[in-house]
Chain A
Amino acid sequence: MTLGIDVQGLTVRYGDVTAIDDLSVSLAGGKIYGLLGRNGSGKTTLMSSIAAFMRVEHGQVLVGGQQPYENPAITEQVYLIRESGDFADQESVRGQLRRTKRFRPQWDGEFAERLLELFQVPDRRTVSRLSRGQRSALGITLGLAARAPVTMLDESYLGMDAPTRYAFYDILLEDYMQHPRTFIISTHLIEEVSRLFEEVVILDRGRLIAHEETETLRMKGAAVTGPASVVERFTDGMTVLSERRLGGTKSVTVLGEMGERQRDVAQAHGLELEPVGLQDLFVHLTKEGPA
């Protein structure tokens, strides 16, 4: 079961601060979406609106064609796992599993046990005594094993170490292939997670600045690699996103699609052309002073 999400004219204000500014975006569902944005760009607010953590005052949010707020048929199908998790800190890990099993109709207990073992989360320990990484792993375990048709991970795995994160990416893909559903993953670890994304949504100051398939977005620029002097000549006049140099070899990431002629020239000069890194593109699209 997959559910699409349709956001139209959503505006959310906290006092004087506009967190989401007239945002409209449609996600067809049944895909893994990357939700990118700098701190304060409105990612968490958008996901909170979809998960009915807050009431939508201006605009409209529909999940599966229905408004989620106070709609039990939709809320039990949507799961937002926040960075610190939503746990009763004095209860055991086992207690959290019992609670999620109680409320989530698609709960897979065996999968949850497998994940706890994989992430080495001690199941009898109280949540307050878990390390930050274990806490993140518990949130991920609940989020994946709940198999909610719309699962949103809001920086939920930041506390996990690199090997555990990579294990999580693999298991997420594996589970997604077996049980297709809509994933929305908000992250700052763009390079690390970008291989998972089928589509990318980029927010900046509460506004949508890009919503494309990942490959389409990556084709909006190119990484040009080769002898330094040749690369410099080739990229002269282009918008440079980043540069790297190792000895006589230079790699320059430029913005703009490469036409057939440019590709031929690059090939003739022995230059390698690769799609642009998502992170470079993200930095370019959202740069304007520190957040």
Chain B
Amino acid sequence: MSALTYRRAGLVTRDQTRGLSLSMVIFIGAVGVGFLLVALLIVAMDGFDGPEARSVWENSAYATRYYPLALGIMLTPVYLALGVANGVTRRAFSLGAMGTVVVIAAIMAVFEAVGYALENGLYQLAGLTQELTTPHLFDSGTQVWISVPEVGITVAGNVAAGLLIGTTYYRWGRLWPTIALPLTFAPALAVEALMSVGWPGGLMIDLWGIERRPLWLVIPTSLLVIALTFAATHVLVRTTAVHPQA
């Protein structure tokens, strides 16, 4: 691939992240303020009655996975025609979109990790211990060096799946992509199941008794799943025509 392709892929990432930035700022503000209000409400209702208090922030994981998933679904339908109309090749678009996935995952990872650390600190101030109820790679919200990669990889899995789903819908319309949804959404579930985190990890452990494999195995395997999802998207995008205008 030429240097021009990489340069333009970088521009695509910049263009997409800039385009999504306002929506992401609103999302982060809404989730942050929303969960703070919920925590305050629980405190006001005297909801924490023991030395161990369930993490309220942990529930934000659903939002920080599925909102980025929705962003991923939008990328090809919204930005492919814009990119091609502006002289971007599909190869550069696909690489740029992967860059956007990484940026979204990184932002969500830092957001989540800061939330866990803040909650942990606030609980400690109140004399409580933060209790995590779904499986994680980290034991405490203060382990930012573990929570950032955990959330980053799981969110990347979700956004990469979203990118694949959106590309199939743009290319083939409604019927076949809907039938194929279990397949195209599978990477998102696979990443969390492989790392035994979140609700898919909980299912693996609690329902089927499958314990987490060593990290040296599950992290590269999860990254491989994400890479394969990107590869599938890349192959599709490379041959996708821009839709005619109605």
**A residues at B contact (CB < 8 Å):** 44, 48, 51-55, 70-73, 75-84, 86-88, 91, 95, 98-100, 102-104, 148
Contact = CB atoms under 8 A, between A and B. Distances in A.
Given A53-B241, A148-B87, A88 B4 contact: no
Interface stretch (B78-86, B195-203, B215-223): B78-86
Interface residues of B, number: 30
Contacts of A53: 84-85, 241-242
Nearest to B79: A88
Interface stretch (B51-59, B88-96, B129-137): B88-96
Interface of B: 2, 4-5, 8, 11, 14-15, 18-19, 78-79, 81-92, 238-239, 241-242, 244-246
Contacts, number: 81
A48 B242 contact: yes
B4 to A, nearest CB: 5
A103 B88 contact: yes
A72 B86 contact: no
Nearest to B238: A70
A103 to B, nearest CB: 4
Contact of B82 (A48, A51, A81, A99): A99
Q: Is chain B's binding surface mostly helix, strand, loop or mixed?
A: helix
Nearest to B92: A72
25 contacts: A48-B241, A48-B244, A53-B241, A55-B239, A70-B89, A70-B91, A72-B92, A75-B89, A76-B4, A79-B86, A80-B85, A82-B85, A82-B245, A84-B245, A86-B82, A86-B85, A86-B86, A88-B79, A98-B18, A99-B15, A99-B82, A99-B86, A102-B15, A103-B8, A103-B87
B241 A103 contact: no
B2 to A, nearest CB: 6
Contacts of A99: 15, 82, 86
A53 B81 CA distance: 8
Contacts of A80: 85
Tell me which of A53, A87, A103, A148 has the highest count of chain B C-beta atoms within 10 A of its own C-beta.
Answer: A103
A88 B78 contact: yes
Contacts of A77: 87
Tell me which of A48, A53, A80, A87 has the highest count of chain B C-beta atoms within 10 A of its own C-beta.
Answer: A53
B37 to A, nearest CB: 28
Contacts of B11: 102-103
